[in-house]
Homo-oligomer: A and B are copies of this chain.
Amino acid sequence: MAFATAGRSMKLYWGSGSAPCWRVMAVLEEKGLGKYDSKLISFDKNETKSEEIMKLNPRGEVPTFVIGEIVINESLATCLYLEDTYKSSGVQLIPSDCPKKAQVLQRTFEAPGFMKKGLEDLGYLYMEGDVNEEEMKEKKTSLKAELALWEGYLKAAGGDYLTGQDFTMADCIFFPVLAVMVRLGLALRPTFPELGKYYETVSKRPSIMKTWPPHWKGTEGKKWLNNVC
């Protein structure tokens, strides 16, 4: 891929099961940029705060991504940077056609709110240990309403992917979040059949299979979201 990266070497610091890291990895595959150096860090050992990462990313988070002299860490920034810089390489993830482009960007930027409702507001409540049942119930209701919105988007789009027949940036950003939720016990069917079908279709996409979180294979996730629907 030297032609595409114009001689710049790429290195990704990532954690297994992190939706933001997965997004970047999926985009790299889709853009035909899958040959990069990578370093798997351990969240359990708090390696995001290692000297090596802190020097590159003062927030001490992953993804941390280096291209030659460039460091870019926010997952959406990295994904959009890769799409814009390697536009003609691999799959075009943001369409040129204005209405389609608008829809893809709209869904792409709704995904962080989805992640907040399902993972930050809810999953992380469990991590704090002392679970407030009433708060938990309220957040589960809110996640269910959010899932209903995405179910409607898929139905209206009428294709295999979030905005129709083409796999786009919106899928790269949204799918990893959905997959983490499923790993945490979220049952999409029977309440959300479109999301169920979408999950299965995208799970089989080569870029997604190749970047599937390695530690998920053969292990079970915590069942934090098993009674949302």
Contacts and interface: CB of A to CB of B under 8 A. Distances in A.
A209 interface: no
A77 B105 contact: yes
A139 B52 CA distance: 27
Interface stretch (A37-45, A107-115, A195-203, A221-229): A107-115
Nearest to A74: B109
Contacts of A106: 71-74, 77
A85 interface: yes
A127 interface: no
Interface residues of A, number: 30
Interface of A: 58-59, 67, 69-74, 76-78, 80-81, 84-85, 94, 98-99, 101-103, 105-106, 108-110, 112, 149, 152
Nearest to A146: B59
Given A58-B149, A149-B58, A84 B101 contact: yes
Contacts of A58: 149, 152
Given A72-B106, A80-B80, A85-B98, 7 more contacts: A72-B103, A74-B105, A76-B109, A77-B102, A80-B105, A81-B101, A84-B94
